[in-house]
């Protein structure tokens, strides 16, 4: 590679006086592997584990969940729960006996802290704006929540959460990232913190 990146513009990378397209090519993968190998050998890690056992447990849990399918999504689609009219109520008026999750339980559901750090900005935006978070009980242990999109005023997301007295069993959101079983999207995280 020989030089340093001095300019990157319009899909062209100038390596000092040489130009190269940054479209995927034959050698770019090789360059990335070489740079990563050098970084791994001579630079300190980007982050250090504070508790290796916790990290190993989390990785094991994530690997196990990655093999599962979202059964709640299948249930919602099979029973056509996303269709039909329902009586929505503001979440503030709820008398739902939703489990109060500990910080550890929330971290376990979100597989880390990223969504937990993102959630307060979502909550604040809803509190300050004219958007409402509304709920409907589809079943005694199944809660459906309607959330206005933060970015597109005409877009609404629906979140379903299946729960018991002490824990959240499964979740599904209609956003792009909402059907995953490894971690939860920011909408589900917001609901878990609000209820």
DSSP helix/strand/coil, 83: coil
Per-residue confidence in pLDDT tens, the chain, 195 aa: 444 444 445 455 555 455 555 565 556 678 888 888 898 889 887 767 677 888 888 889 889 988 999 999 999 898 888 876 777 777 666 777 788 888 888 888 888 788 888 888 877 777 776 666 677 777 788 888 888 777 777 788 889 999 888 889 999 999 998 999 998 998 899 888 877
- Please report which residue ranges of 23-173 form alpha helices under DSSP H: 28-42, 52-66, 71-78, 103-110, 114-128
Q: How many CB atoms lie within 10 A of CB 117?
A: 12
Read off the pLDDT of residues 152-183 as tens digits, 9 standing for 90 and up. 777 888 899 998 888 899 999 999 989 999 98
Q: How far apart are CA 90 and CA 194, in angstroms?
A: 12
């Amino acid at each position: 590679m020989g030089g340093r990146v001095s300019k990157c513009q319009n899909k062209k990378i100038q390596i000092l006086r040489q130009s190269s397209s940054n479209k995927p090519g034959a050698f770019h993968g090789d360059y990335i592997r070489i740079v990563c190998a050098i970084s791994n050998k001579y630079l300190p890690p980007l982050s250090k584990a504070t508790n290796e056992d916790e990290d190993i447990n989390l990785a094991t849990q994530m690997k196990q969940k990655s093999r599962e399918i979202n059964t709640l999504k299948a249930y919602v689609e099979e029973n056509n729960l996303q269709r039909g009219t329902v009586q929505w109520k503001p979440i503030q008026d709820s008398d739902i006996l939703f489990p109060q999750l500990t910080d550890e339980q929330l971290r376990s559901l979100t597989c880390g802290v990223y969504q937990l750090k993102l959630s307060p900005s979502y909550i604040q935006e809803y509190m300050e704006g004219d958007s409402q978070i509304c709920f409907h009980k589809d079943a005694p242990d199944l809660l459906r929540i309607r959330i206005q999109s933060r970015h597109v005023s005409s877009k609404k997301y629906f979140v379903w959460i299946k729960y018991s007295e002490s824990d959240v069993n499964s979740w599904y959101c209609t956003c792009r990232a909402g059907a995953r079983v490894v971690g939860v999207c920011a909408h589900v995280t917001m609901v878990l913190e609000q209820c």
